[in-house]
Every structure is written in C-alpha cells, then in structure tokens.
Amino acid sequence: MTVEKLLHYGQMLVQEQDNVKRVQLADKYLSDAALGDANQDSIKRGEFYGSKAAQQISVPVPEGCTDPSAANFDPTARSE
C-alpha cells in the first residue's frame, strides 16, 4: 500500500468522523429542544412568539364533488 493511499484513507476517516460529530450535535440539539411542547404551551396561554396571539379557528371544508362531470361539482371541494 502506498503512502498516498494511506493518506487518502486517513482523510476519508477524518471526514467520516466529522460527519458523525455533526449527527451527534444535531441529535443533541433536537433532543434538548422542546419546540412542539413550547409552542403548544404558548398557544394554551394565548401567546405565540412573544406578544403575538394565536387562536384556533374552525375552517369549513367546502362540500361538493371533485368530479368535473358531476352536477354538484365544486373546484374548491376536498372530498366527495
């Protein structure tokens, strides 16, 4: 095995170790972050991202048919 080949394998090993460190850092960051819980708590308190309020509303689903040849065809309908 040549010195160049050994250096190439060494560089590949260093790159792989860097990738492992990135994944470990991402896992650590994401496991410590409580983004979903924090947002849910903010919604329950009526504040979301600081002083902005968040409200849950009910959006009506358009009734009608998605078949263009049907008598009750509605292009905004999402279900039959």
9-66 pLDDT tens trace: 888 888 888 888 888 887 777 766 655 555 566 666 666 555 555 566 777 776 778 8
State the Cα–Cα distance between residues 45 and 74, nearest whole angstrom. 38
Q: Is 79 helix (H, G, I), strand (E, B) or coil?
A: coil
Q: Assign 70 a pLDDT band (cuts: 50, 70, 90).
A: confident
How many residues would you count in the chain? 80
C-beta of residue 62 within 8 angstroms of C-beta of residue 76 = yes
So what's the pLDDT on residue 24?
Answer: 83
Q: From the centroid of its chain, how far is CA 12?
A: 31
Q: What CA–CA distance (Å, rounded) separates 46 from 68?
A: 42
Distance CA 12, CA 14 (A): 5
Q: Where are the chain's structural domains?
A: 3-33, 46-80
